[in-house]
Amino acid sequence: MRTLPSVVAIATIATLLAGCSNTPGASSEADPQSSGASASGAASSTTPSSSAASSSTPTSGAASSTTPAAPSPAPTTPAPSPVPTTAAPTTPVPTTPAPSPAPTAPVEQTPAVPAVPAAPGGVVVPTTPDFGGPSTSIPQGGAFTIVGSGYEPGQQVIVSMGYYRTDSFVMDDQTAIADAAGNYSLMITVGPDLEARTYGILTYEADAREQGDPAAFEASKQYATIKVVAA
């Protein structure tokens, strides 16, 4: 059988190991003096045991080679919420109102007197509401200008000329128009053959006559007296 040499070899190795283990004991019994050396030797022989003990270091190393578990993170404290700040109330600074300007006295304005156009020879005859006023002398062939005021702008004024204190007229009715200031003027030329005597001028508002109101018509009448003299 092929297993027999293996068995013999194992038995031989066991015998050799047993003989080696018994040799130190026999030596110590035979020579007590050598026990000191043997003790030293034993002490020396224990070194392998120390080595063996140290040989167990890898085990500790193996144990230490185990990776320790990562430590748990320390709990974090949440940051405190910011404390709301209350804005300090602001006190408005009182403002001093500007002083009111002192009232100024109204300036009285004198109404301008409308300019009266000059007639040939510079003779201007104003009308008055009174009949029979002072007369103005005009030579035959001369001219004069009738003027009036106090009318509405654009108002028509009728001008007539006739024998004084009669209803006979020596001139057709003429129409004058009041300007923006309510004034009018109308130049009249005396014929060279007009009889030398006193004549009357009558003016009135055209619309007063057209309205058929006798009172308004009489109120609008104005007069002037002209004395024609021989040239």
What does CATH list as the number for 120-229? Answer: 2.60.40.10
Q: pTM value?
A: 0.48
- Per residue in 155-200, pLDDT (tens digit) is 999 999 999 999 999 999 999 999 999 999 999 999 999 999 999 9
Looking at residue 119, what is its pLDDT? Answer: 43
- Per residue in 125-145, pLDDT (tens digit) is 999 999 887 889 999 999 999
Looking at residue 54, what is its pLDDT? Answer: 37
Per the listing, tokens 């030579």 go with: 139
Q: Is pLDDT of 29 > 80?
A: no
The pair of three-digit structure tokens given for residue 33, joined into one six-digit string: 């003096």
Q: Is pLDDT of 7 > 50?
A: yes
Residues 6+ apart with CB under 8 A from 219: 208
| pLDDT: which is higher, 192 or 231 | 192
Q: What is d(CA 132, CA 152) in angstroms, rounded to the nearest whole number?
A: 26
State the burial class of residue 191 (Cβ atoms within 10 Å of its Cβ: 0-12, 13-18, 19+). Answer: exposed
Looking at residue 213, what is its pLDDT? Answer: 87
- Per residue in 42-79, pLDDT (tens digit) is 333 333 343 333 333 444 333 344 455 556 666 666 66
Cα Rg for the chain, rounded, in angstroms?
A: 79
- Per residue in 93-116, pLDDT (tens digit) is 666 666 666 665 554 544 444 444
State the burial class of residue 66 (Cβ atoms within 10 Å of its Cβ: 0-12, 13-18, 19+). Answer: exposed
**What is the residue-averaged pLDDT of the chain?**
71
In terms of average pLDDT, the best of 17-26, 128-137, 200-209 is 200-209
The pair of three-digit structure tokens given for residue 139, joined into one six-digit string: 């030579």
